[in-house]
Amino acid sequence: MGFKKLWGAVGTQDGLSWLLLMRVLLLLAALVAAATGTETFVGHQVLRIVPTNDEELQKVEELQNLEELQLDFWLAPRRLGHPVDIRVPFPSLQPVKAHLEANGISYSIMIKDVQALVDRERMEMLRSRRQLPLSTNTFDYTTYHTLDEIYAFIDLLVAENPNLVSKLEIGQSTEKRPLYVLKFSKGGTNRPAIWIDTGIHSREWVTQASGVWFAKKIVQDHENDEGLASILDKMDIFLEIVTNPDGFAFTQTQNRLWRKTRSKNSGSLCVGVDPNRNWDAGFGGSGASGNPCSETYRGPYANSEPEVKAIVDFVKNHGNIKAFISIHSYSQLLLYPYGYTTTPVPDQKELHEISQKAVAALSSLYGTSYDYGSIITTIYQASGGTIDWTYNQGIKYSFTFELRDTGRYGFLLPASQIVPTAQETWLALQVIMQHARDHLY
């Protein structure tokens, strides 16, 4: 920072006249580095120059002789038209650039911060020692992953596709884990949107795993698949892969069959609230338990769970979500509201028809058979459920999936079934999304 002040004060074109000052500073830096035994590349840049005439070539060659600048030629000057790459330490950046500019030599910045690159490489080396994937192309979709691995996948996906994918943090769990939502968007402002969540019940592992697969699928197909491309032309897709990260971590470390959140319940030794009974739809009625020790404990009040509140806030603030799909396992069912009452929803006929089409599409791939219907008639009465609330918010296309299987493995679905499950489910999701796209309201 002090360097800029000095040069600015002089306002000279040729910064080389400040070499004396530079020498002192560089000497100091060298002493510090020697004392601490580290060399840092913070702020160093790699510049590329392509000399187009002899004069330019000569000027660049001259730079080699100025030892005080501590320039590191990655590609030394050789001939006209051949690139010259120079790592320039931070203190020398200004004088070197000024020198080039003063002589009309154009350059480009190949690396903006060498230290950042070094850091990333160090991390990648650590990763490859622990065998973490370096890209979403080497990620193993055929196995179950830890929370850290899924969060790393999310970051990789965003980094690889910055124009399509972004990561939103919509809140924090009880145990302060971030709640991440992926946004897939081709542009626009607050476009009508589709919401998909997986893993709200932590033991339903095939759902988080499918969520990871969906994320990659969207990225792979967003241009070449007509259906998906046309959906994204009009709508955004939001995907929350690990909707209950505390529960998920608990299934990895303590109890594979944990379902609920991990919030403490006052006056009870029992932990956790059923996040699919905690929504403000028929809350308090039959179809949920008031006992904290129960797997269907509704919680002390609606939206008491931060995992639920985060989505509620997101949906309300967004205001333009047109389809909401919450994914569970197991039972092989496609369900629409209501769960808390036998009163059919006004859009029952349309939702039933969509379900029929979606299930047919799903079955077409591997012959997996699904039943469909309203929650209350098809599985059981459930109050405070997610899609009952979203439907009552006006999100007409509200669906819940119960993925494979029907009980042979149940929650402990073999990893070999992850990809087939995700593939067939994706076909059903596309039916729903396309219907929403064609019937925006």
Partner 1 sequence: MELPPSHSPATRAAALAAAFVCYRRGSPGRGLALRAVRRAVRQGIDGVGTKYHLELLLEDILDKDRTVNCTAEVFYHLGNKTTAPDVQFTIEGELKNADEADDIFYKRIKSLEKELVAENIPDSHGNVSPEMEPVRLLAWAASGYVVWQNSTENTKFQLAQIKHVKQVKRSDEYLEFDYTILLHEMVSQEIIPWQMTVLWHPRHGVQVTQDSQKPKHTSE
Fill in the amino acid letter for 77: P
Q: Distance between the two ends of the chain, CA-based, in angstroms?
A: 55
* Least CB distance to partner 1 at residue 288 (A): 10
Report the interhelical angle of 226-234 vs 205-221 (nearest 10°).
90
Among 54, 226, 407, 441, binds partner 1 (CB under 8 A): 407
Q: Should residue 294 be labelled a site residue for partner 1 when binding is judged by CB under 8 A?
A: yes
CB under 8 A: which stretch of 105-113, 150-158, 160-168, 403-411 binds partner 1?
403-411
Q: Confirm or reject binding of residue 356 to partner 1 (CB under 8 A).
A: no
CA distance 117 to 60: 25
Is position 149 annotated as part of the catalytic site?
no
Q: How far is CA 167 from CA 220, 223, 229, in A?
A: 17, 20, 20
Please list, residue by residue across 232-253, b when 16 or more beta carbons sit within 10 angstroms of its beta carbon and e when fewer do: beebbbbbbbbbbbbbbbbbbe
- The answer to the question of residue 175 lying near partner 1 (CB under 8 A) is no
Binding of residue 373 to partner 1 (CB under 8 A): yes
Give whichever of 60 and 335 is closer to partner 1, judged by the CB atom: 335
The 311-350 contact track toward partner 1, x by CB under 8 A, reads --------------------x-------------------
Residue closer to partner 1 by CB (options 21, 415) is 415
Work out which of 3, 144, 283, 399 binds partner 1, going by CB under 8 A: 144
Of the candidates 424, 412, 416, the residue with the CA atom closest to the CA atom of residue 359: 424
CB 77 within 8 A of CB 84: yes
Using rule CB under 8 A, residue 210 touches partner 1: no
Instruction: Evaluate the CA torsion angle 301, 304, 307, 312 in order and state its sign.
Output: positive
Q: Site for partner 1 (CB under 8 A): which residue of 280, 320, 371, 423?
A: 371
Q: At what angle do helices 205-221 and 147-160 cross, to 10 degrees?
A: 10
Among 112, 122, 349, 408, binds partner 1 (CB under 8 A): 408
Q: Fill in the per-residue mask, 233 to 252: x = in contact with partner 1 (CB under 8 A), - = not in contact.
A: ------------------x-
Q: Considering beta carbons, is residue 313 or 371 the nearer one to partner 1? A: 371
How far from the centroid of its chain's Cα atoms is residue 176's Cα? 18
Q: Which is nearer to partner 1, 236 or 402 (CB)?
A: 402
Query: What is the bridge-based pairing of β-strands 333-336 and 371-374?
Result: parallel
Supply the residues annotated as catalytic.
402
